[in-house]
Structure formats: structure tokens, C-alpha cells
Structure 1
């Protein structure tokens, strides 16, 4: 089919239906009615001469033809969207970042001044989030996440290995090379709902008995603030307490161990120039800021 004859509206309706799995959600994204999406898809089937969906209307199943068409179509629309955004952003150049809230507060924000010095024309607009990212749905340029991977369908910039260990304020225990596990286990334990098994996993990896009790905090940031204030001892990722360790506000008597997870910066398959610049900057910052441990 010649380019001038392509049914672009119908192709958009089909691509949105495949991506969302429902015509209703596709209609909401496109700002049209369910009936309009249904008519566009039926019209596309007539033009192509194939069935794209089978089964009842409330439980549509993509045909093999639909599964063959969808990847190339989504890639093409992603490329068009990226090109349009690049033109739109040529003046304002805003980068939308999705980032783990504690990582943003404890590591990223204190270093953002450097990005502004290097890229003064790019404004970073940040959203705190730790959910799986869908760049087609969420419209972010970059997402910072932590996990074991793999990270499929995106570009990945490796940042840090996630290494964890007990940390506490020197007001609770004298920092020294002779801290015994019994001394640490006798202190109040701090927990977070973000990683409820952190103590059990660390004790299992180090062969120490799992202590009971302690205080739970809803957010990781609150738990780390409590540890800094001397309210107890917490299991923390080294990268999130790096500045506190350097300043002497916290110390890690047993060091840190790999958790099997990694901090990464994710970008779409076809990233904007701003996304490439920010991901590259994050990668350089992570290397220059490597843990001394």
C-alpha cells in the first residue's frame, strides 16, 4: 500500500487497542468513543483483507496477523512521537524524570546542580515513582529504578550495584573495628515497608540470628532519617547513605553486601536528545561517585 493511502487513524486505533488490550482503554487514550475505535479497527480489517481480532467483543483475542503487525507499527509511531517531541522541545527542553523517591532525595538532588552546569538549557521535571515504567503510556524520558532485571524493551544505563548493610548513628554505639553482633542486635531495629525482609535477608546471608521486634516506617526515607537521628539501626543501601557515612552521621560496622539488585537508568528504545544527555550524565556521576568501600 502506498504511503498516501495508509489509513493512519485506523492504524492508531489498532495500535492503542493492542497496547492496552481493550478498545475501551484505547478510546480513552485517543479521546474518542468505544464505537469509533471499533469502527476504525473494522475498517482496517477490510482494507487489509484480514481479521485482526477474534472472539466476542468483550474478550477480543489478537489474530496472528495482528501480532505480526503490532511491533513494527508501535515502533513507527514511537519514532514519530519522538521526532515531534524533539521539535516541540527545541526551545523549552524539559526532561520528564521518574525516580525512586529516596534515591532522589538522598543521592540525585544533591548532585543535580552539576547537570544544570553541564546542560543549562534542560529543565528536569521529576516525579517520584517506583512502579514498572511503560514509556508509551507514562510519557517519561528517563526512569531510575532498582531491581534484579532483566529490563526488556528499553535502553539501560547501569548506575550502582545495590549493596546493603546495617547502619546506625555514632550516638548509639562507638564506631570501632570491634563491634560485635550481640551489641548491634541489642539496639532498636528499624524496618521499612519498602523492604520488609531486609533484616532477614541480611542475617541469612551473614549467618547471624534474625532479631525480632523493632519499629516499622512506611517510607524508606523516614527510616533513614530515624537512623540518622539515633532511633535505632537500619539495613540500608550503601548508595542512599553514602553522604551520611562520609559526614560521620552514620557508620556501617559490618560494611555492605550485594543484594543481587542494581540501580539503573532506563530510557525508551528511541530516546530524546535530553534523555540521552541525562542518562549519560547519570552514568558518569555514578562512576565518579563510586563507593569507597
Structure 2
């Protein structure tokens, strides 16, 4: 007699959530493709039996009871796979097989370019775009292209203005998780990126990259108006405003406008009276570094004769120094 087929068990949503927490869904919108397709190993009865034994003995144990819902308790054949690596339970062999690949023992999909391995073919396909430069996802607003749909979704927020991720410390909002991670370092003071030349540390990799150009002398950003070059984009943008006359930063006290934020900060000190830069020789305070440097020359005598001729039109030295201190 033919044995009756066991009744179908409905998978509980919680079981699927375990998998979704461990894996990001395929960016093309499909789950991991190999989980729904059969391989030669799975179709061969001998190989299939070997794989079952390997799954049970090495990664998990079969037959331990799971927490069952009332519906599931009706089925006497209901059994569970438990991962020995992390203790998670699965009542579906396919989901269990997907899970055990997390633990790096079944990363069978390798990249030929860099030998990096992946548990799923879909993840390998996504990774390969790093090498090929393929960007299949395009923005309908500006036609900019992206390698991953997640990158496109993040980019779309620049058009919609959506900032769904909020900092709990200061309520500042961000478009993506990486931005808030970088921002959090302003609160924690963490500076994970260090310069190998001078050991100076930075909170952002972009700041380190710009800093390294100080050592190499590289200035890849050039002004089209005067061909002056700069080591970083922000310096170039500030410089361009000297040509355009743009002054986007305004003082809330007197509405005076400035071309860069550092000039605005220095100006604000004229309202607050703050003088954070002090002379080590006489402890006189200044609102900006340039004023302190100018003052220091009165102690060192650096370029003093030149400055007397150019700045004071041959005024006596005593008058010049008195004016500098006042």
C-alpha cells in the first residue's frame, strides 16, 4: 500500500523572519534564488541522503521539539532542525539549509576576481558588479545609475527630501544608516581612521583622504576660472565663491553675509566676545588664528621690518608694536 502523504504544515511568519533577519533580500526583489531551485546534489538520491546526514550531524540536530502552535501539535511527524552554531530552530529543512550557510562552512559561490566567497548565488551576482562596474538601476528623476537597488532607494530620498533615520542624541535626521553612523561619532568622539604619516586621527574616511594629500602634495581639484588647484572639493567650492561673489552664510545678529562658514564663526565671536586663541607669551586672547599669528610676530620679530614698511609706511617701531597690542 502506498503511504499517505503527510499533511502540509503552514509555516509561521516568525520562522520566515528568522531568515529575513539573517539575510538581506535579493536586491532585484527576489529571495535568494538557489533556495528555490534544485542542484545536482539535491536531485541525486545518494547525494541527497549524504547532505541530510551532514546537515543533521554537523550543523544541527533533528528531532528536538520546537515550540508548536495548537495547529502544529496535531501533526505527530512535526520535527525541528536546530543549528549547533547559534541555537536557532527551524521546522523547514530548506530554511535550515539556507541558515547554516551563514557560518561560513558552505560559502560555495566564489568570486573569480578576488576569491571572496558567498553563501548565495544572488549575493555573488551583486558583488560581481563591483568588478564589472555594472549599474542596472537608474533614477527616473536625474538618470543617475546605481549598482544596487538599495543605493537607488537611498538616492531617491535626495529628491523627495525624506530623512527617516533620526539621531537620538540631537534629533538630526538622515537619509541612510551609514550617514547616521558617521554622525554618531560627533557625539562619541570616535576617530577610527588614522594617518600613517603623522598618526592624526579622523572620524570620516573622506577627511583622512583629504588629509593624506597634505603629505603627498596632490591637488586634484582645479578651478576652471583661474586654474588654482585644491586638495579637497570643499576648498574648491569655497574658492569658487570668490569668483561668483556668493555668500550663503549669514549672521543672525546683524545679517552680515559670508562666503564660508569659518568666516561666519569668526565673525560671530565679535558678538559673543569669545577669544579662544591665546598668546603663550602674554596670554592675550584673539577671536581667530590669523590675528594670533600676526600678534605673535611682535614677540618673535619675524618679518617685522618688511611689515613696518608695507603696513605702517615707515612709522616708528614703538608705534607699530603699540598698535598691534591695541
TM-score normalised to structure 1 length: 0.23
Q: Which has the higher contact order (CA 8 A, sep 6+)?
A: 1
Bigger strand share: 1
Rg larger for: 2
